[in-house]
Structures are given as C-alpha cells and as structure tokens.
C-alpha cells in the first residue's frame, strides 16, 4: 500500500515534468527551425582539415564555433525499451488469444520475502533459470533488482521502483562505466544512421545483448571465414603447430 502511494506521487511528478519538457521541446524546435532555415550543412572547406594532424591533435580539436552547426535538426535516437514481462499460461481467452499474467499476480500473494541467492533452490517456478550475476563475494539476490513489494517493477539500490522499460538506469548503478560509454555510442552498437541529420539511429539496450540473470556475453563459434590461398590446410596454423 505504501508503495502504491509513493508510486502515484512519482507518477504525478512525472506528469508535470512531461508537460514542462514538452513546452521546452516545442520552444527548442521552433528556435532550431528559425536558425536552420538560414544555413546549409556546415562547410569546413573542401580541403582535408585533419591532414597531417597527429592523433592527439585530432582528439583535442576545439569545439566548432559555428553555432548554426549546433542548431541542426537532429533525428531522434530510437532506444530499445524492454517490455514489462508477462508470464504465459496454457489457457486462451474467448477470442482464442493466449492468456498471460503479470508477475505480481502470483508474487503479491506471497508474504515471505526470503532473499533467494541461487535459482537452483527454486522448486515451484522459474525452474531451470540460470542465475549468475555478480561475483561470489558480493552475492546478488532476486530482490537486489526485483521490487519486493511489486514484482511488476524493478528497484534501485535506494528502494525506488523502476519500470522495466527504464531498466538501463538500474543496470547503470553498478555498471557506470559501461553506461557512460553507451551514452557516447561506444558500447552496445547501433543501427541506422551515424549522421542524425539524415536519419534515425537505433540503439539496443542492456538486456538485448546481456541476459540480466546471466550477463556474461556468450561464447560464439565463427561460421564465416574467407578462403584465402594462404589459409589452405597445408599451411593451417593449428596443424602447423601440431607438427612441432
């Protein structure tokens, strides 16, 4: 009950933020349109300006003084947003659609809050779940990330509920370096456009690549190899090693 109250308060706050954000966004958009109208793509000249520069010099180039450059209309980055998980039942509704239930359907009935550290101990449900997250000396439990009062939510370290769609903010509590890299496009990869003036950039989120219960990136088996002449079996590295 306490949680629900808190949550409603958060929601109301969020609502006001949304309104002010929307107003700010409209103002920004209008300003950008006015500024962009008068300018084309920034032209740094046809010459190659970094020619002859060292790596250090390139990385220390001053920010462009061209304000119009900043005002370019950029396409949004489309982030992947995880859904709140639903559990499948083997029943269908009147229209024949499969019935799914929320996590809270079961979990809100449990009064016991034992911090489970190993999925192997789970007998009734979640059988076969591989749980391997965190090092042995900082053992994580289900309730480290799942909200004990409402299983439709995740929880931050301070107990604040987080929606599944915002799970990245929860991951970032421990994996700050990765989150920072992700923020700058240096982690997680992307699809679409590098030039956001021309198109939308699509980004994955943490759990698209990492299983949250067992986040170690999986091992893989390469299945494509160019057939170079110097890679013929007689010169194959492994066989070469075996001979010696």
Write out the residues near other proteins by the rule CB under 8 A. Answer: 41-52, 55, 58-64, 177, 181, 184-195, 197-199, 204, 209, 217, 219-228, 231, 236-238
CB of 100 to other proteins, least distance (A): 29
Residue 193 CB, nearest approach to other proteins (Å)? 5
Which pair of tokens denotes residue 189?
């990869």
- Between 58 and 106, CB nearer to other proteins: 58
Nearer to other proteins, 116 or 190 (CB): 190
Q: What would the DSSP string read from start to end of 65-94?
A: --HHHHTPPPPPEEE--PPPPEEEEEEE-T
Q: How far apart are CA 41 and CA 43, in angstroms?
A: 6
| Least distance in angstroms from the C-beta of 83 to other proteins | 22
Q: How far is the CB of 191 from other proteins (least distance, A)?
A: 5
CB atoms within 10 A of CB 167: 19
CA proximity to 113, closest of 163, 155, 175, 166: 155
8 Å CB contact between 73 and 33: yes
CB-nearer residue toward other proteins: 7 or 204: 204
Q: Which is nearer to other proteins, 121 or 225 (CB)?
A: 225
């Amino acid at each position: 009950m306490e949680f629900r109250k808190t949550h409603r308060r958060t929601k109301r706050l969020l609502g006001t933020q949304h309104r002010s954000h929307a107003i700010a966004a409209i103002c920004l958009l209008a300003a950008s349109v006015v500024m962009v109208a008068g300018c084309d793509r920034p032209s740094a000249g046809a010459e190659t300006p970094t020619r002859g520069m060292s790596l250090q010099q390139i990385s220390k180039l001053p920010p462009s003084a061209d304000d119009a450059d900043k005002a370019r209309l950029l396409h949004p980055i489309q982030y992947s947003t995880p859904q709140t998980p639903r559990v499948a039942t083997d029943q269908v509704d009147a229209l024949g659609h499969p019935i799914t239930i929320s996590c809270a359907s079961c979990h809100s009935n449990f009064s016991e809050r034992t911090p489970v550290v190993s999925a192997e101990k789970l007998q009734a449900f979640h059988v076969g779940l591989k749980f391997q997250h965190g090092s042995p000396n900082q053992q994580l439990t289900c309730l480290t990330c799942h909200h004990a009062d409402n299983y439709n939510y995740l929880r931050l370290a301070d107990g604040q509920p987080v929606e599944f769609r915002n799970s990245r903010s929860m991951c970032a509590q421990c994996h700050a370096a990765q989150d920072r890299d992700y923020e700058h496009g240096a982690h997680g990869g992307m699809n679409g456009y590098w030039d956001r003036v021309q198109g939308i950039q699509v980004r994955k989120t943490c759990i698209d690549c990492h299983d949250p219960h067992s986040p170690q990136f999986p091992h893989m088996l390469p299945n494509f190899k160019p057939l170079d002449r110097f890679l013929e079996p007689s010169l194959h590295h492994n066989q070469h090693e075996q001979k010696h």
